[in-house]
Structures are given as C-alpha cells and as structure tokens.
Amino acid sequence: MLIGYCVLLFLSNLFSINAQTACNLLNLPRECQCQRTRHTSLFFINETYVRCRQLTEITTNHSWSNILYDRLIFETFQDNLTLHQSVFANIFVRTLRFNVQNLILNDYSFQNAYIGQLMISYNDIRGRINFQNNYQIFSGSIITNLYFKFIDFQTIISEIIFSNTRIHTLTIQSSKFYGFTNKKLETIPNTLSKLKYDSFLEYDYSLSTNFKKISYEPEHSYPLYLTRYTIISSINTINLTENYFPNNLDYNHLEEIELSFNQINTLDAHVFRYLKEFHGRLILLHNEIYHIDPYAFVDLYLVKNLSLAKNFI
C-alpha cells in the first residue's frame, strides 16, 4: 500500500517535472496557463494543455511551436485577437480552439501546421474573422476538422487563404459566409507529396509523432484538398452562385458537399461550373429551392448522389 503510494507519488513528480519543462520551454505570456491534461495517463508527457484568456496579440516573441499540444485554447471576449505572421508555423496540436470576438489572421499564421481539430467560434453570439491580407494562411497544413461556428466572415474571402492545404472536413455552421472570390491561382497539380505530413491527425486520439517529414516549397500556390465540404445555415444569399465553390478545390478527391438549411431558393445557370470532376454526393437538403435554371446542373455530369429533399419543388 505504502509502496504503491510512493510509486504513484514518484510517477506524478516525474510527470510534473516533465510538464513543467514543456511549459517552461514556451515562456508563455502571463495570460496563459499551462497544465497537464486531466484524465490522461501519467506517461503521456506530451499532453500539454494551454489556455490563454484575454490575450490580444500572438507574436513570435514566444516560440509557440516548441512543444506538442493536446489542447491549445484562446478565449478573448469583447476584444481583438491578432495572430502575427507565421506564429503557429509547424505547430502540432490535437485540438486548437479560438473563442474570440474578433479574430485577425495574418499571412502564414498556420503554415505547415498539423492540427486535429481547429475550431473557431464565439460563444453563442456571432464573432468575426478577418483574413488580414486575404493571402495564404494555412499553406502546407494538414487539418482533420476545420470548424467555424457562429462566425461572421464579413466579406467574400479569397480562396488563396486555403490554398496548398489538406483538410478532411471543412464545416461552416450557423455563420455568415459570403463565399470565395474564385481568383485564378497558378496551380501546380499533384502536389500532395509537397505537404509536410502525409496523413490526418485524428483529434480524438493520442498525438502521434509517427509522421513523415516531406519538404515544402512555400513560393508556390497549390490547390486545396478536401474530403467533405459542409456549409449549414450560413450561406448569405438566397441565389446560390459559383462563389460558394472555390475554384482551387480538387473536386476529384472531394467526397461530399453539403449545403443544407441555407434558405437557398434559386439555382442559377452554371452554378456548379467548377464541379465538372466532382463525383461525390451533393446534398442540398432543407432549403427553399423552387427556381432551377435549365442550365443549373449541366456541369454536374459525374455526381453520384444528389439530394434535393425538403425543398419547395
């Protein structure tokens, strides 16, 4: 009994020393607290949990990417949180969460990042997001789930923001989303291998460091690879346009597009013009579609499953 207790004490001391070391490596701003994740084995010494409250600027003064994170959380209420250039370059985190009223992202803020779940929201009220220069933010990154909830995008955004990125599921929910500019990019095909990691980091499993490092050339713009593209209750128009389909998306690898609960009533001519190679499922459930232009679906010749239930047709 006593021996067991001593062993436990010894292990927890060993752990706290390691956790302490990981946190010290960061030399965190005073708004941030670093601790071990609760309920995880004492042996997972990489399971660092960092939470920052009312931080307004994230700068490269701190080496954020020095350690691996289980959870990294930023809560900034009624203020701006500005991420400087490249602050989270090469970061490795299972869950990264921003609960921020006005999030301002700069070029390459998440370059080469490896993220399980990236959640951007603002409680149950609408927060705002600002892509400072409308330029590459996520290039070279692999993200399992990128999730925007209760966010006002304020304006049409450039698809360059998501160029050279591999995302399993991109979800925009209960937000105000105005679509993409579909600016033509100089795209270089077949660039998956240029990304640093070759697989998704499942955010609900233990962090794994077994990944291949592949070199990355930042001077080029590459396509966006997505498996599922979901916009629910967020499209800010009743007349769906091609702007909701980024032109740099590799539709050949996309398995599902879901645009449900969006109050869309019109499908215009050639609205799916970028989807010529899309052969997955297109789900338009629970809209108010009653006007479909005769040329609305002409570009969709490979689509496998089209779901138009719960509409006004």
Ligand X SMILES: *[C@@H]1O[C@H](CO)[C@@H](O)[C@H](O)[C@H]1NC(C)=O
**Calpha distance 232→172 (Å, rounded):** 6
Question: Is 150 or 244 the residue whose CB approaches ligand X more closely?
Answer: 244
Contact region with ligand X (CB under 6 A), list: 4-12, 61-69, 168-176, 221-229: 61-69
- Write out the binding residues for ligand X, residues 131-150 only, by CB under 6 A: none
Contact region with ligand X (CB under 6 A), list: 53-61, 133-141, 185-193, 217-225: 53-61
Q: Which two tokens stand for residue 273?
A: 């013009």
**Calpha distance 244→231 (Å, rounded):** 9
Query: Where are the extended beta strands (E) located within the chain?
Result: 32-36, 48-53, 57-58, 68-83, 92-105, 114-121, 127-131, 142-149, 151-152, 165-173, 224-232, 239-240, 256-258, 266-267, 281-283, 291-292, 305-307
Closest CA to 187 of 168, 159, 228: 159
Taking the complex as a whole, the smallest distance from the CB of residue 2 to ligand X amounts, in Å, to 28
Q: What is the DSSP string of 2-71?
A: HHHHHHHHHHHHHHHHHHHHHHHHH---TTEEEEEPTTS-TT-TT-EEEEEES--EE-TTS-GGGSEEEE
Type of residue numbered 202: E
**Residue 260 interacts with ligand X (CB under 6 A): yes or no:** no
Identify the residue among 32, 45, 224, 231 touching ligand X (CB under 6 A): 45
Q: How big is the site for ligand X, counted in residues (CB under 6 A)?
A: 21
**Residue 182 interacts with ligand X (CB under 6 A): yes or no:** no
Taking the complex as a whole, the smallest distance from the CB of residue 256 to ligand X amounts, in Å, to 9
Contact region with ligand X (CB under 6 A), list: 54-62, 105-113, 191-199, 215-223: 54-62
**Residue 151 interacts with ligand X (CB under 6 A): yes or no:** no
**Calpha distance 232→230 (Å, rounded):** 6
**Residue 241 interacts with ligand X (CB under 6 A): yes or no:** yes
Taking the CA atoms of the chain, what radius of gyration do you get in angstroms? Answer: 21
Quick note: the x/- pattern for ligand X over 97-126, rule CB under 6 A, is -----x-x----------------------
Identify the residue among 61, 208, 252, 263 touching ligand X (CB under 6 A): 61
**Residue 181 interacts with ligand X (CB under 6 A): yes or no:** no
**Residue 57 interacts with ligand X (CB under 6 A): yes or no:** yes
Contact region with ligand X (CB under 6 A), list: 1-9, 56-64, 175-183, 221-229: 56-64
- Write out the binding residues for ligand X, residues 3-32 only, by CB under 6 A: 22
Closest CA to 131 of 167, 91, 163, 92: 163
**Calpha distance 269→267 (Å, rounded):** 7
CB 120 within 8 A of CB 103: yes
**Residue 268 interacts with ligand X (CB under 6 A): yes or no:** yes
**Residue 130 interacts with ligand X (CB under 6 A): yes or no:** yes
* Residues binding ligand X (CB under 6 A): 22, 45-46, 57, 59, 61, 67-68, 80, 102, 104, 130, 239, 241, 266, 268, 281, 283, 291, 305, 307
